Homo-oligomer: A and B are copies of this chain.
């Protein structure tokens, strides 16, 4: 094991097409290495941070899978997102210098720790990085608004179809299959994200399965008819 493989380095990370370094040139990439202070492993089921924790850093996911969630004061949990390799989490903490949600690893994971002070410092020097940070935050806002549309307007089948299409699309961007996936989350967590009960999630999976749109076996899912899913998600896009 050479020092290079141990040292934190965006400049030779294989996620650089998906993660913070998007669009940076070689020089800027070198500089970005300084932003990442170290890596941190998070075991399955363990929190990366919790609601109320002091905010210091953003995290770039190297490996593994996370969920973020908020809770109402009487304990109801809402999953606000599922994050995979190359995605940035922790943005919720900037407003109040404390985290405003929980981030829990759904499988053993490793993240790059990027102290936010470093990010701010460097993005004053590099407009490209500054712009990139702004885009990441804005993208999260747009994503959240898409979830609102889902939760506010769509029916169970539409929600699940949208969810599956979104997941598989993101996985495909990471080199995985376009049609097969292994869910890292429980039916309950899917339900929490989609605003439905776990039984409804299960029933909807079964329904899609009966209609030969997908094949399901517990956490393993194969998408047989992606167009059918798209049509459910967006009735107008038929043909």
Chain A interface residues (CB < 8 Å from chain B): 70-78, 80, 91-96, 100-101, 120, 123-125, 127, 130-131, 133-135, 137-142, 144-149, 151-154, 192-195, 234-237
CB within 8 Å for A139 and B95 given contacts A78-B149, A144-B145, A148-B151: yes
- Expressed in whole angstroms, the minimum distance between the Cβ of A31 and any Cβ of chain B is 15
Copies of this chain per assembly: 2
Q: Are B124 and A120 in contact (CB under 8 A)?
A: no
**Distance between Cα atoms of A146 and B144 in the complex (Å):** 10
User: Does the CB pair A94–B152 fall under 8 Å?
Assistant: no
Chain B residue at minimal CB-CB distance from A234: B73
> Considering only CB atoms, which chain B residue lies closest to A235 in the complex?
B74
Which B residues lie within 8 Å of A142 (CB)? 92, 95-96, 100-101
Alpha-carbon distance between A70 and B151 when the two chains are bound, in angstroms: 13
A94–B124 CB distance below 8 A: no
* Contact for A131 among B120, B137, B145, CB less than 8 A: B120
Task: Specify which of A76, A77, A195 lies most central, judged by the most chain B CB atoms within 10 Å of its CB.
Answer: A195
Cβ contacts under 8 Å, A101 to chain B: 142, 145
Is B139's CB under 8 angstroms from A141's CB? Answer: no
A72 — which chain B residues lie within 8 A by C-beta?
Answer: 149, 153-154, 234
